[in-house]
Amino acid sequence: MIDIKFLRENPDVVRENIKKKFQDDKLPLVDEAIALDIRNREIKTEVEALRANRNKASKQIGALMGQGKREEAEEVKRSVAADGSKIDELSAEEKEVGEKLNAIMMRIPNIIDPSVPIGRNDEENVEVQRYGEPLVPDFEIPYHAEILEKLNGLDLDSARKVAGNGFYYLTGDIAQLHSAVITYARDFMIQRGFEYCIPPFMIRSNVVTGVMSFAEMEAMMYKIEGEDLYLIGTSEHSMIGRYIDTIIPEKQLPKTLTSYSPCFRKEKGAHGIEERGIYRIHQFEKQEMVVICKPEDSMMWFDKLWQNTVDLFRTLDIPVRTLECCSGDLADLKVKSVDVEAWSPRQKKYFEVGSCSNLGDAQARRLKIRVDGENGKYLAHTLNNTVVAPPRMLIALIENNLNEDGSVNIPEALRPYMLGKSIIK
């Protein structure tokens, strides 16, 4: 969500940004917002004038009454009453106009960073760098669900009976490996100076609309029937929501947080939800990074965050690459985003395992997260990044450590979390 003052002074910049995101259907919103903003300010000016006149008239009434000029005083009272009715009428219109303006501003996409490549969708994302040597063994690698089932680690059929498609049971050594990845990721981030948090797994609607666009909300969030609560799609939502309507002393920045949570997603419109596997699912667990910082530090933290994910995967000897998300692939609140993709020896290509995003002051503006600095108050910048999301991480881990006999080697870094076990057979 951009600043209305910025839109007012730079409408052409906002229009050009919309075009770069290939959202031309939103171009009329700029003129609508400008018209509503003008009317909103006209109302405020008129109300202020009426209130000033009413205050002046009130003093006049007292003076006239003191002089015994009752009829003149009554006439002024009638004028004051009329002004009061007009103020009430304008105040009601001001509220209506303000709500319409806010709704439109929440649909206008954030201004992307100049470094973002221009492209229509994820097919035009740009590879930045590769880390590690992607290898393909000289034996065939089965589909990940088949590998996990042969290791007695995955039960999709029972999950389908219990909850439907998009759910799973993990069991035995595979379930333990899943937990080992999460715990290792937690400790990895703590060792990098991040504060560990476990947040609420449900949030109210005002937090939902504060952290994401309406389109994302509709595609992702599960609503709790009869209550103003939603299941979180990622812990970033409740972690950022923690600071709603707060003023943070500048000396407390940056806030560097790592959080664990289950995540729940509709995956509305997603392809492959019926697929027999755990790549695209309705429920999973994740370790996340969140940073709240000063505006001038946000790009530095952006680079640190995605690098943390790359470093973690490399400690497990999983080849990865980074992709710069193009303009058309950025969600409306994002200024810049990088995906981290892991190598799949079976598919002989990379697939997404994490996403790092700089949202500028968009979330802070919606949630009123301000910083109290030496030169006054200003909006914080917020960033988030996936450390690991084990269902997808498991796919990369298992494929890159699979032996020809179907067993899976456990990377050395995870063995302390697996009670010393070095292989799953």
Instruction: For the full predicted model, state whether its pTM sits above 0.75.
Output: yes
Report whether 47 contacts 54 (CB < 8 A).
no
Domain boundaries along the sequence of the chain: 4-105, 122-424
pLDDT at 409: 97
- According to CATH, the superfamily of the domain at 122-424 is Bira Bifunctional Protein; Domain 2 (3.30.930.10)
pLDDT at 72: 72
- The tens-digit pLDDT sequence of the chain (425 residues) is 899 999 999 999 999 999 999 999 999 999 999 999 999 999 999 888 888 777 776 666 666 666 677 677 667 667 767 777 888 888 899 999 999 999 999 999 999 999 999 999 999 999 999 999 999 999 999 999 999 999 999 999 999 999 998 899 999 999 999 999 999 999 999 999 999 999 999 999 999 999 987 777 777 899 999 999 999 999 999 999 999 999 999 999 999 999 999 999 987 655 554 467 888 899 999 999 999 999 999 999 999 999 999 999 999 999 999 999 999 999 999 999 999 999 999 999 999 999 999 999 999 999 999 999 999 999 999 999 999 998 889 999 999 999 999 999 999 999 999 999 999 99
pLDDT at 220: 84
Name the architecture of domain 4-105.
Orthogonal Bundle (1.10)
Q: Do domains 4-105 and 122-424 have the same CATH topology?
A: no
